[in-house]
Amino acid sequence: MDVQDFVLAERLRQAGLRPTRQRLSLGAILFSAGDRHVSAESLHKEALAARIDVSLATVYNTLNQFKAAGLLREVAFEGDRTFFDTNTSNHFHYYIAETDSLVDIGTEDLKVLGLPPLPAGTEIDRVDIIIRLRKSVR
């Protein structure tokens, strides 16, 4: 086990997850390249390209376990479209339809000036904003 594997294994343990072979393999792909956005399908393709024998169901399960442990943030929109974000800080996104990708927007670049009254007994967990972009026609 090299240093990166050891660090990842410890990170999983601290999040309450056992560092299984699949979690370590998928975690290495996810967390070794800085902040990024992946779908289960794109991560599955990366895993297969890296010769990691893992099913799409295992990828989905692992991503959801990482999300539940606070290691990933889920960005869901349009019903069934879901990305997982390794940047768990408070931030917003551009969605670029042509490339089916997300790009981070820092909170300092966008201000939410007001929200409607909250239903009784609730509080804001976070505000998700996705700005959809398309290629300009000019």
Q: Band of the pLDDT at 65, cuts 50, 70, 90?
A: very high
Give me the long-range contacts of 90-95 (CB less than 8 A, separation at least 24): 90/126, 92/128, 92/129, 92/130, 92/131, 93/37, 93/129, 93/130, 93/131, 94/130, 94/131, 94/132, 94/133, 95/130, 95/131, 95/132, 95/133
Report how far residue 114's alpha carbon sits from residue 86's, in angstroms, rounded to the nearest whole number. 28
pLDDT in tens, 81-119: 899 999 998 889 999 988 888 999 988 878 888 889 999
Q: Is the model's pLDDT at 64 over the cut of 60?
A: yes
Q: Band of the pLDDT at 3, cuts 50, 70, 90?
A: low
